[in-house]
Amino acid sequence: MHVVVLGAGVVGITTAYYLTEHGHTVTVVDRADDFASGASGGNGGQLSYSFTDAVASPALLSKLPWLVGGGDSAFRVRPPISDLPVCWGWAFLQQCTAQHSSENTLAVLEMALRSSALMTELQTKVALKFSFRQAGKLVLLNSYAEIQAAKKSCAVKRQHGSDVRVVTLEQAIDIEPVLTYIQTSAAAAIYSKSDSVGDANSFTSQLGKWLAAQHAVDIRLNTAVHRIILATVNFIPSKLTMEPSAQMQWLYAWAPGAKKSSSPCVSRQTSIRYVAIA
């Protein structure tokens, strides 16, 4: 199968790697002139395999007015509000139940632990130097309620393979002595020894160059994608198009080229016939 991967960031390049591992022909396309030129280049580098708690939770509901009102600089709603954030917001609210929160946390934990195992496996196959280190991770807890919630969450995660646990402030200082010099109201902390750090930019660039050197993947940087042409569209291919075998499913109804749905929140399954490039 010929698969075209749009984007040469950390997700695109690792996707290309595993597709070639399964015997597929892969082309990676990116408009930038280098790997990891977007969000991957500014990634914080935390491989937090144990901190998978779902953001959508009952506890978040009471904070929503404060968040929407600009109480947290990381959360921003900008007018005009289109179909997309309304649909996303409605779907998000539906996940803010205790059952969904627990299910989503464990689902992401399963994926995170699998990701950790794959990272170890990948490094045995490809020599990459990206400042990888199993540094562990501490998150300070300030209130009794936070500590109790963390104990409950950590207990469940340990049952599913995580090493995360709640430690006292004294134990946290033994783990990270610099905390001695920080004024804090924290009484405890969550600690995972297995969590790691690494340079996402360096990782992506080195893996991309390795794939290119092995002639395993056709890397096309400085190449913009102008259109995604659906299978239902009459179109004469040219040298500026590629015809992948893979399908893209659940293309949103508001996407260019897709037939408009009667509901802005309904997605539809379709397939990609050509990718128009330049």
**What digits encode the pLDDT tens for the residues 21-58?**
999 999 999 999 999 999 999 888 999 999 999 999 99
> Which residues fall within 8 angstroms of residue 158, CB to CB, at 6 or more apart?
164, 165
Report yes or no on 13 lying in a domain: yes
Q: Indicate if the pLDDT at residue 221 is higher than 70.
A: yes
Looking at the domain assignment, is residue 124 inside a domain? no
Q: Which CATH number does the domain housing residue 218 bear?
A: 3.50.50.60
The C-alpha atoms of residue 66 and residue 213 are separated, in whole angstroms, by: 51
Tell me, yes or no, whether 180 lies in a domain.
no
Range of the domain at 20: 1-45+199-223
Name the pLDDT band for 257 (thresholds 50, 70, 90). very low
The partner residues of 133 in beta bridges, in order of sequence, read 197
Helices 98-125 & 144-159 angle (0-180, nearest 10): 60
Predicted local confidence at residue 245, as pLDDT = 63
The strand pairing partners of 268, in sequence order, are: 251
209: in domain: yes
CA distances from residue 217 to 6, 9, 15, 17, 227 in whole angstroms, order as listed: 13, 14, 11, 8, 22
Per-residue model confidence (pLDDT) at position 20:
95
Q: Within a domain: residue 229?
A: no
pLDDT band at 156 (very low <50, low <70, confident <90, very high): very high
Q: Does residue 162 lie in a domain region?
A: no
For residue 137, pLDDT over 90 is answered with: yes
Model confidence at 67, pLDDT cuts 50, 70, 90, reads confident
Domains: count for the chain? 1
pTM to 2 decimal places: 0.80
What is the average pLDDT across 127-153?
Answer: 96
Q: ∠ CA 180-169-47 to the nearest 5 degrees?
A: 90
